[in-house]
Amino acid sequence: MSSLVLSFQEMDKTQLLLVGGKGLNLGELSKIEGIKVPEGFCVTTMGYPKAIEQNAAYNALLDRLTRLKAEDRDQIGEISRKIRQIIMEVEIPSDVVKAVTHYLSQFGDEYAYAVRSSATAEDLPHASFAGQQDTYLNIIGVDAILQHISKCWASLFTDRAVIYRMQNGFDHSQVYISVIVQRMVFPQASGILFTADPITSNRKLLSIDASFGLGEALVSGLVSADSYQVQEGEIVNKRIATKKLAIYGRKEGGTETKQIDPVQQNTQTLTEQQILQLARIGRQIEAYFGSPQDIEWCLAQDTFYIVQSRPITTLFPIPEANDHENHVYVSVGHQQMMTDPIKPLGLSFFLLTTKAPMRKAGGRLFVDIAPRMATPVGRETLLNTLGSDPLIKGALMTIIEREFIKLLPNDQKEQSLGESNKGTSSASFQAQIECDPTIVSNLIKSSQASIEELKQNIQTKSGLDLFDFILEDFQQLRKFLFDPQSSRVFMTAMEASSWINEKMNEWLGEKNAADTLSQSVPNNITSEMGLALLDVADVIRPYPEVIDYLRHVKDDDFLDGLMKLDGGQQTQDAIYAYLNKYGMRCAGEIDVTKTRWSEKPMTIVPMILGNIKSFEPNAGKRKFEQGRQEALEKEQELLNRLKQLPDGNQKAKETERVISLIRNFIGYREYPKYAMISRYFVYKQALMKEAEQLVQAGVIHEKEDVYYLTFEEFHDVVRTNKLDDQIISKRKDEYKLFEKLTPPRVITSDGEIITGKYGRENIPAEAIAGLPVSSGVIEGRARVILRMEDADIENGDILVTSFTDPGWTPLFVSIKGLVTEVGGLMTHGAVIAREYGLPAVVGVENATKLIKDGQRIRVHGTEGYIEIL
């Protein structure tokens, strides 16, 4: 057996680097009993370097290519063309020619063959490279086949293949190509079979596309295909397309496109029996490879042949469960306003904090709500708590209608518990909690004292003691987060807001009245943080030398350099004071591994400079006071209008009491998260000292490597002073893969992503729908920003982004409207938008793609839609 050429039967699983992803999969497919694969062989990756490694011109061009970036399209095009030309002109090594000729004589050199590329970085679990290299069909004769082997080698350097490698971090010199030579099948029909539905990701729904002739017509988009869906052995959906064209092989070689006879154009490509037979073959292949597959098939003489199978790389992974029951998972990221993947240390911090039944998938956390969906009361509670997001509520309603989770016999005790929360009257607020502002200040004081005590005590801990100490302290954190009084405070405020919105609409026809009433409330730690950065700008504004210095600094030690400048001391003091109070925050802060402002103070410099440029002195206090006045005027206006109604004095009195609950308590909604993030940062600083010790001991390469370990694994590494290098590099690769995935709001244990829809009754046809969370209508320039550090916001812009958590708040003082892809009525962005009086629409699917940076848009914060002007 020559290592230059291997038949499909001679390959084994370890030979990816010899035969490439496509070749390896064909080798595996040909071993599955009952699966027909047209016979063939692979010119291995040994042949390609043998042909070009001594070529000086090739190596020089490759060197030039390596120095380019994906944006350098013109240069890429020119260099790639020259490389392809060299490869086409190079002589194929004689031993490769000999081996190819030998295998062709075995299989029959009079037959037609498909000649297809198979790169070593192709059809991998994390990068499909689909369509990057070339395929040639119906090639007849040894000379023609050898010529097309050269063409396949050259296709490693098409512009699209080169750019794809650059974007995915693959080294051009490390990607080799093998070439598949496979007996042609001349099919009556062909197509693609997905063993999981590529649209909804449902692993139980199998999807088949089928058309007449060769599959190339379908892959190249030349024809429409029939579409069939099969679930659990039954055809559940069929769409028959009009198929006007098909590609067929010519007798003398090559292919031609033909018109299909009009009588045949609308006939079903496969019979019912064939559809079900193909579905069974798909399930057999999926079971063999152990993951959902994208399979190319063809049908000739009533026999199905499989010509390729590759993993589907775009499916979101299913959260792990250790049983075969039905489960429903709701994304934590959509509740926490951070849908990026979280590194393992960050995940384990969150898991140590929460009491909810959490599952991991794709670097994100999901709550398994199946147990709660199994009882009537649980269902009602879920629809009430998650129902403020119509996309989640709609998904839950679909799941309930399908009876995906069966109801358990009713539990009387739970039923009565649920009944007591129904219908919120103002009297029930009073029963829950007195309207006493000192409740909030006492909760905050006790939390602050506890954090100060933690800072003192943790300084004496190190090594294994530190890990035990932190585990112990997580109890304190949980005690505070789940303190019934703390929860009652903000639940009361949220119920009070709902009551106001409902009653003011019913009594006065006034929509979302609570939005204005929530402006500039006391004790909102997050909105205070945005205003406090305006105060920092006030300190720096009188010193032009400092401003100029800040415009040009690049390094995080810029604070030391301030001391040489006039106003430097004052600037340093103001920034340190700000970081002292808010430096534990950052964008995506629920992931403890994200860089905090205290760790990278440069992050806040552009925002400070923006505030100096856009605002007059004392803007923070003026903004707060303006919002407070607007809230008080709105309260007065509502009370006066209510008094004119029948029974008006009673209504006004009740409303005034509920408004005071909102004003006193809604600001506290943001505090528990601040306390959690403050504690996280204290833990992190102590743990990073341990990481430094591990770097010095040579156990890890850089201290950030510990981010890719769970808390328990980190503890073990400190205990044993040992770590397998592979773990970190494998987790880094996984994280890069997770970054490319979009997490669903709701996913089932079948892997199906279910989503609701927004009602469109009052929305213009062209408008983009979302959830209204902060009233008002505003027009302005859209700034589409995906990372806070890239923000270039001018006063009056409208921020359009995937999500905003508290770390984004300093930008809110400059914007006049907000649009996000993620969010609900009580998530961070909504709360702060209301407090600052910014019209906001959240939960807008694909907002950052549908709205272009710089477009003028109109945001309807009361009705919940955006118009592109």
Q: Is the pLDDT of residue 423 over 70?
A: no
Burial category of 294 from C-beta neighbours within 10 Å (exposed 0-12, middle 13-18, buried 19 and up): buried
781-790 as b/e: b if 16+ CB within 10 A = ebbbbeebee
C-beta atoms surrounding 219 within 10 Å: 17
pLDDT for residue 2: 67
Q: Is the pLDDT of residue 422 over 70?
A: no
The span from the CA of 861 to the CA of 817, in Å, is 8
The span from the CA of 433 to the CA of 557, in Å, is 48
For residue 569 the two structure tokens come to 């001391």
Burial category of 685 from C-beta neighbours within 10 Å (exposed 0-12, middle 13-18, buried 19 and up): middle
Per-residue confidence at 121, pLDDT binned at 50, 70, 90? low
For residue 350 the two structure tokens come to 């969150």
Which phi and psi angles does 288 have, rounded to 5°?
A: -65, -45
H/E run at residue 623: helix 619-643
User: What is the DSSP pairing of strand 798-801 with strand 817-820?
Assistant: parallel
Tell me: the pLDDT tens digits for 138-153? Answer: 899 999 999 999 999 9
The span from the CA of 674 to the CA of 529, in Å, is 11
For residue 324 the two structure tokens come to 């075969």
**What are the residue boundaries of the structural domains of the chain, listed by start?**
1-184, 185-315, 328-402, 484-673, 758-868
DSSP structure class, residue 291: S
pLDDT for residue 242: 82
pLDDT for residue 217: 67
Tell me: the pLDDT tens digits for 683-742? Answer: 999 999 999 999 999 999 999 999 999 999 999 999 999 999 899 999 999 999 999 898
pLDDT top residue among 774 and 1: 774
For residue 325 the two structure tokens come to 């029951």
For residue 220 the two structure tokens come to 């190249």
**Closest Cα to residue 717, out of 731, 697, 742?**
697
| Residue with tokens 């010509």, as numbered in its chain | 307
Length of the chain: 869
User: CB of 668 within 8 A of CB of 440?
Assistant: yes
Q: Interhelix angle for 272-289 vs 16-29, to 10°?
A: 140
Residue 606 sits at the vertex; the CA angle it makes with 600 and 607, to the nearest 5 degrees, is 100
pLDDT for residue 129: 47
User: CB of 764 within 8 A of CB of 747?
Assistant: no
**Mean pLDDT score, 547-558:** 92
Q: Is the pLDDT of residue 127 over 80?
A: no
What does the CA dihedral 343, 345, 351, 353 come to, rounded to 10 degrees?
Answer: -120
Query: What residues act catalytically?
Result: 828
Q: Which amino acid is at 728?
A: I
User: CB of 348 within 8 A of CB of 710?
Assistant: yes
DSSP structure class, residue 750: T
**Which residues make beta-bridge pairs with 231?**
205, 234
Q: Interhelix angle for 671-696 vs 344-353, to 10°?
A: 140
Most confident of 3-12, 56-65, 205-214, 457-466: 457-466
Task: Please provide the DSSP assignment of 553-593 as one string.
Answer: --STTHHHHGGGSTTHHHHHHHHHHHHHHHTT--TTTTSTT
Q: Which amino acid is at 614?
A: S
Superfamily of domain 185-315: ATP-grasp fold, B domain (3.30.470.20)
767-779 as b/e: b if 16+ CB within 10 A = bbbbbbbbbbebe
Task: Provide Rg for the chain, Cα atoms.
Answer: 32
**Closest Cα to residue 582, out of 535, 528, 619?**
528
**Mean pLDDT score, 433-445:** 88
The span from the CA of 476 to the CA of 779, in Å, is 46
**Mean pLDDT score, 601-616:** 94
Check if CATH label 3.50.30.10 holds for domain 758-868: yes
The span from the CA of 719 to the CA of 735, in Å, is 26
Tell me: the pLDDT tens digits for 8-32? Answer: 999 988 888 889 888 999 999 999 9
pLDDT for residue 166: 85
Strands (E), 291-354: 293-300, 303-311, 328-331
| Residue with tokens 């990481």, as numbered in its chain | 691
Q: How far is residue 98 from each of residues 43, 94, 135, 149, 673, measured CA to CA in Å?
A: 11, 6, 22, 14, 70
Which phi and psi angles does 318 have, rounded to 5°?
A: -85, 130
On average, the pLDDT of the chain sits at 90
> CATH topology for 1-184?
Dna Ligase; domain 1 (3.30.1490)
User: CB of 500 within 8 A of CB of 487?
Assistant: no
The span from the CA of 266 to the CA of 273, in Å, is 19
Q: Is the pLDDT of residue 311 over 50?
A: yes
pLDDT for residue 180: 94
User: CB of 738 within 8 A of CB of 341?
Assistant: yes
Q: Is the pLDDT of residue 225 over 90?
A: no
Query: Which region among 157-166, 252-261, 669-678 has the lowest average model confidence (pLDDT)?
Result: 252-261
pTM of the model: 0.84
User: CB of 746 within 8 A of CB of 330?
Assistant: yes
Q: Interhelix angle for 671-696 vs 711-720, to 10°?
A: 30
